[in-house]
Structure 1
Amino acid sequence: MEELSNIEQESKEVQIPIGPIYLNGDLDIPTGATGIVVFARGTGSKSLSSRDQYIAQEFNKNNLGTLLLDLLTVDEGGIEMLKRDFHFDIEMLSIRLIDVSRWLLNRSDTKGLNLGYFGTNTGTAAALIAAKELKDVVKAVASKGGRPDLAEDNLMYVESPTLFIVGGKDAEVVDHNKWALDRIVIADKELKIIPGSNNLFEEKGAIEEVARLACNWFKRYLL
């Protein structure tokens, strides 16, 4: 994975009010962008994933804006006994993502941009449910190593073009994604399996391939 580099864009740290809490995020809008991708993850980590940062930068290089954030607060992620419950509270995560989307739609610098979601792990299910609820707004969804199966009965109502990217080494996650894809009824849906990769995409060239596939997907529907 290449070193992160600076590119010409508007970049700012933002705080998004969600009920009684605030979610911290990094908002990057390249000059001339016509679309923006919200990264949906629910880990409660103190720092953003370097792989997600790399993917976001690849999006930015291709004229796509990005909002990198965690749908859980650091405090929620730090409560070890409850961490799994928060992580798998798909309804809560999807509601927060919807609120984040509405926040973007009301900002002067982002309200005119086509909206997409990029989900990771359980954030993928949240992204699909939010896309169902905001079907007139969300133009595309993609995920890496996600759990779309957790969206369950919501899958048949998803109308946004959807791409699942998984590592070929993790047969269980591949099966989860195949199961979910079968339940999405729209024609614009794809599953891409990266051979020889796990779902952290640590192998040489794996995260670059994830970025390429996802970037092409969003360029097709957001630009």
Structure 2
Amino acid sequence: MALNTPVRVPATGVVLDADVTVPPDARAVVVFAHGSGSSRLSPRNRTVAERLTADGLATVLTDLLTREEAGVDAVTAELRFDVSLLAGRLTEVVDWVGDQPGLGALPLGLFGASTGAAAALITAAARPDRVRAVVSRGGRPDLAGDGLPEVRAPVLLIVGERDPQVRQLNAVAATALPALPVPPVLRVVPGATHLFVEPGTLEQAAAMAADWFGTHLA
């Protein structure tokens, strides 16, 4: 049985809430970056995390905003698109994971949704020696801007068939990502809209993510 532990992660000027789940004999760790208006309690990302844990991967689900900031953002939506803020904090979470017994020596991947995908890609560019793989689900990789060409980790972009605008943004972003060490891959989940609420679509995305991490974090 996986051990789930609530923790508090220090970052610049704030402390972030996180949930760490470590299965027996974990072979890698995946840090989640939540997107627009979401949190570590997102049922969608928890579904993905449960699939990864079942495959032997530890997971770290972190709020990149404090409770107070999330309250402000719920009214103004001013922080959810502050990608530089989110990426800076995600990078600090990755550094924190590197200092944790039982996690620090494991290969590390990032899973980002919506604007969290941009934060994940910027962090991958900032920590090329630490981040070994990135998966984006319904993400906005275009918001990573100049960070895209600097990413050195293998990137999987998962989008819904019925999410045409985000599909196009991901297709364009894929052309800006380096082809080394492996070309970025764009996969479309049939019948899925942006939030993957259609029956079976989120499970397909989770399986794709598990396969990608299983391959590139081995």
1:31-52 CA deviation, whole Å, 9 max, x = no partner? 1112000010144657611111
Map 1:30-179 → 2, pairs under 5 A: 30-43=23-36, 45=38, 48-80=41-73, 83-179=76-172
Alpha-carbon separation, structure 2, partners of 1:53 and 1:178: 26
Alpha-carbon separation, structure 2, partners of 1:100 and 1:173: 27
TM-score (norm 2): 0.94
- Identity, in percent, stands at 38
User: In structure 2, do the counterparts of structure 1 residues 177 and 47 end up closer, same or farther at CA, with 3 Å as the change threshold?
Assistant: closer
Instruction: Give the letter for the 1:173 counterpart.
Output: V
Alpha-carbon separation, structure 1, partners of 2:32 and 2:74: 25
Partner of 1:189: 184
Alpha-carbon separation, structure 2, partners of 1:170 and 1:83: 25
3-state secondary structure, aligned to 1:174: helix
Task: Specify every segment of 5 or more residues in structure 2 that has no aligned partner in the other structure, as ranges.
Answer: none
Alpha-carbon separation, structure 2, partners of 1:144 and 1:151: 15
Aligned residue pairs: how many?
Answer: 216
CA shift for structure 1 position 75: 1.5
1:43/1:72 contact within 8 Å kept: no
User: In structure 2, do the counterparts of structure 1 residues 66 and 197 end up closer, same or farther at CA, with 3 Å as the change threshold?
Assistant: same
Instruction: Give the letter for the 1:124 counterpart.
Output: A
195, 210, 215: which one pairs with 2:205? 210
Alpha-carbon separation, structure 2, partners of 1:69 and 1:190: 26
1:34/1:112 contact within 8 Å kept: no
2:37/2:77 contact within 8 Å kept: no
User: In structure 2, do the counterparts of structure 1 residues 132 and 46 end up closer, same or farther at CA, with 3 Å as the change threshold?
Assistant: closer
- Superposition RMSD in Å: 1.5
